[in-house]
Structure 1
């Protein structure tokens, strides 16, 4: 493939990701349509499939961007001098604010259907691991006697707890709390971590 055609292909790939990101942010993942993306990116419908295998692959590329932004929001929310529980609370609050400000993009991280015949790409798994690594450090400080498997399980449990509170609260589910109380609920739950 010539350099010019590689460049055009890469430019089309970028336009499609940008168009998909705008549409997911505005309308949600379930409303993502190839015909709309082709129009937005200024290409033929078939040209999409010369660059991406399917819409899922485009959504995954958008999710890669979202994971990076989420990681930045969480990773810059603390200075490292906080006690471990306080750091977990600060990071969880950053997670909540990111989810609230980027609701459709955040939901797409968890709503994307993974195919049975294809593995989850390493870069996607690594993005999630990066998020978990922020949680793991204060967890290790709080529970120094846990072995690696138990530490990983505790890290995932804390993430799942906060994610559940945020999800139920932002979706205004009957089992959630009003949005203005989500932060307080997270603080109540996490402030009891490590209390013996």
Structure 2
């Protein structure tokens, strides 16, 4: 690897870190190319030698956010095996509560994962889709134990539905929107919801 390439890689990393800090402090709306250029000591035009556009930059920040979420979920499920219905439901509860805590502790970066919209005519690159979809493997493992006869496509759909249910409660709770679950009760209600779903998914004897 040449010195020019190494320097460019370091600048790109600095740019992504500066963007991450800006989003963390001010939200997605606070991400300004001119401010980033000043932060890393380059011209405004030079930013687009490091990333294709601002969409790519936001996705690269999102990649770092997803990596931290992945690490948190891996830690929450470490040593757990979905060998019985109770264990599987316990895993789902641990995953849901970890997700809720991560959202609260990384609020602006977490919001950006869902608020960001690609420019008109652009599509999310395959690498970003792959990273997003990888998160569902944590939900799929216990769902397979709860629904051993279900097909993989059905389990995939169910994992998305379960995520949507928990995500919706988290969004309303953290945003304190109308009919939101009060923040102090949020985790308790998430656990109650997931346990009710787990019970409903457990095959009858």
- Normalising to structure 2: TM-score of the pair? 0.90
Deviation of the 1:4 alpha carbon? 2.1
Write out aligned runs for 1:127-146 (5 A).
127-146=131-150
Unaligned runs of 5+ in 2: 201-205
How far does the alpha carbon of each residue in 1:117-169 deviate from its partner, in whole angstroms, 9 at most, with x for none?
A: 33322221221222100000101111112112211110000111111111110
**Separation in structure 2 between the aligned mates of residue 181 and residue 144 of structure 1, nearest angstrom:** 33
Structure-2 separation of matches of 1:139 and 1:114: 32
Unaligned runs of 5+ in 1: none
> What is the aligned partner in structure 2 of residue 74 from structure 1?
73
Matches within 5 A, 1:6-155: 6-78=5-77, 79-81=79-81, 83-155=87-159
CA distance 1:175–1:14, shift in 2 (3 Å): same
Per-residue Cα deviation, 1:56-107 (whole angstroms, up to 9, x for no partner): 1111100000000011111211221460111111111111111000000111
Question: What is the aligned-residue RMSD (CA, Å)?
Answer: 1.4
SS of equivalent residue, structure 2 residue 197: coil
Give the conservation status (yes or no) of the 8 Å contact 1:75–1:91.
Answer: no
How far off its partner does 1:6 sit?
1.1
Deviations 1:5-42 (A, max 9, x none): 21221111111001000001111011100000001111
Q: Number of aligned pairs? A: 195
In structure 2, what is the equivalent of residue 191 of structure 1?
195
Equivalents in 2 of 1:95, 1:149: separation in Å? 23
Q: Distance in 2 between matches of 1:158 and 1:195?
A: 13
TM-score by length of 1: 0.94
Q: Does 1:175 align with 2:174?
A: no
